[in-house]
Chain A
Amino acid sequence: MLCQKCHERQANVHVNKIVGGKMSATHLCEQCAKENGDFLTQFAAGNPFDFNHLLSGLLNMESSPGVSPPGVVAPAQCSTCGMTYGQFTKIGRFGCPDCYDHFAVRLDPLLRRIQSSTTHTGKVPAKSGERVKQRKTLEQFRREMQEAIASEQFERAAELRDKIRELETQLSE
């Protein structure tokens, strides 16, 4: 569609006005719209439609009363980098990798809204991925050891304890 004013450039500013119940539509190019001026001012100031605002809008929606999951108390601050959840909702960016764990309880509803799921299924890095696997095994061994102790299988528990120590040293390297 061509601009209704200069009839040269593509119209990419579309203004619908409703005056006294009658709607009128104007289609202008950016330049002519700028010259026309008056109705554009509301968009120009601070551009409230940018991405950060949209995201923090979503975040605030989640923290508004009645929407957050009942009984869940999320930590207000990441103990590693000091970023507060309030700051996060304003800027839409986390402060450090640990924020994901600190704010994990509040993250699922947000991720469900902006992503297709809450669990990664793609590429796993060789080295850091290996550590993730080791941590998982470590947790598994710890659980098994508790079970072994509870059922008085002390030999098995000692075996597991050694394995746990070995993994712990590997992970702390």
Chain B
Amino acid sequence: MSLSDFLQRATSRWMKDGGPEDDIILTSRIRIARNLQGLPFPILQTDTHADEVIRAVQEAVAAEAVAKVGKFEFIRCASLSPLDRQVFVEKHLISPDLAEAEKHGAIALRDDEAISIMVNEEDHLRIQCIMPGLRLEDAWHLASAVDDALEQSLLYAFHEKFGYLTACPTNVGTGIRASVMMHLPGLVLSGNIQRMLTAVSHVGLAVRGMYGEGTESNGSLFQVSNQVTLGETEEEIIGNLSSVVHQLIDHERAARKALLQENREALEDRVCRSFGILAYARRMDSRETLQRLSDVRLGIDLGILKGVSSGILKELMVMTQPAFLQKYFHEELAPGERDIRRAMLVRERLRLDDTEVR
């Protein structure tokens, strides 16, 4: 299979399509946690409990109400190979925790992969909607529609005072986690990022690396999300996050402009150097790949590089992850071997574009 065919088939909508502010915002994500009344949370689940949850969700997903929101496939984690589960993690469709829940976990996935419903992760259900660019409201409306459709067949654990009950009290209430993945190379290069991120954390938002909790940031990619889930409405939570994100976008744009004016040569050198390495290197670890891709993407956004598709960062940051690489090359690869194949894949991908370095 050619690389372009593979890309067409293996990528999710969010990896291919653009959206508002997508020079800075890669994706918007909404995740809502729900639990079923009368059953222990997954942490105390027996096999019977887990099956009960899976059966109930599977039936709910198959019902007509959910069919109106899209075509879903229901998959038990046990039926997936560890490699396939890891590919789902790398595509942000499921969490690393669910990938490990081999026995009790399941996933309902809409055909365009914009919606995934994780079953028996930390909570019975985690409905996730992911969209390219800054589209938090759209993602919320879609996730909420799936939630409403599911609720027609499921009885949720809902408390008059505490709202939707969740295994962890940090999710109780709305159960919502809204997050955006931002590419902020301007703020990183100009040395302003730490100040910005500290300010962000002071207004009740969390900043994380690209694969969520506990992961470090790399390639100037940051995930900003709400912390508070109780006491504010979903709209307020999303509104707060949006307004902070808009401010970060303004700062990032200003930083890029200043870099271009004051350090044009250094910036062009960095961008072109990274492009050269991506286009010719024979071994690349994932960390360097991400950093170089981030530079190239910045170069595209600032008009330094022409002809390279701007989706390249989003596409390759997922495609060059270990499981995806092994999926593409159809074989198990040791870490050292991965670096060689990763460089190969990146070179191949860059050749699909008609690049022109200005």
Using a CB–CB distance below 8 Å, which chain A residues touch chain B?
1, 9-10, 12, 30, 50-51, 55, 81, 83, 91-97, 100-101, 107, 110-111, 114-129, 132, 135-136
Contact = CB atoms under 8 A, between A and B. Distances in A.
B158 A132 contact: yes
Nearest to B40: A96
Contacts of B161: 118-120
Interface in B248-263: none
Contacts of A97: 35, 37-38, 41, 157, 159, 165
A120 B171 CA distance: 11
A117 B263 CA distance: 47
Given A115-B172, A128-B155, A132-B158, A12 B216 contact: yes
A124 B234 CA distance: 11
Nearest to A95: B44
A115 B39 contact: no
Interface of B: 35, 37-41, 43-44, 122, 144, 147-148, 151-152, 155-165, 167-170, 172-174, 176, 188, 191, 204, 213-214, 216, 228-234, 237, 287, 291
B136 to A, nearest CB: 15
Given A81-B44, A120-B161, A132-B160, A127 B152 contact: yes
A126 B169 contact: no
B39 A118 contact: no
Contacts, number: 133
Contact of B174 (A30, A107, A123, A129): A123
Contacts of A114: 169-170
A30 B159 CA distance: 45
A96 B40 CA distance: 4
Contacts of A1: 191
Contact of A128 (B37, B44, B234): B37
A115 B291 CA distance: 35
Contacts of B216: 12, 30
Nearest to A129: B158
Given A97-B165, A122-B173, A117 B155 contact: no
Contact of B169 (A94, A120, A128): A94
A1 B174 CA distance: 39
A96 B41 contact: yes
A117 B229 CA distance: 9
* Most chain B C-beta atoms within 10 Å of own C-beta, residue among A55, A94, A110, A119: A94
A93 B155 contact: no
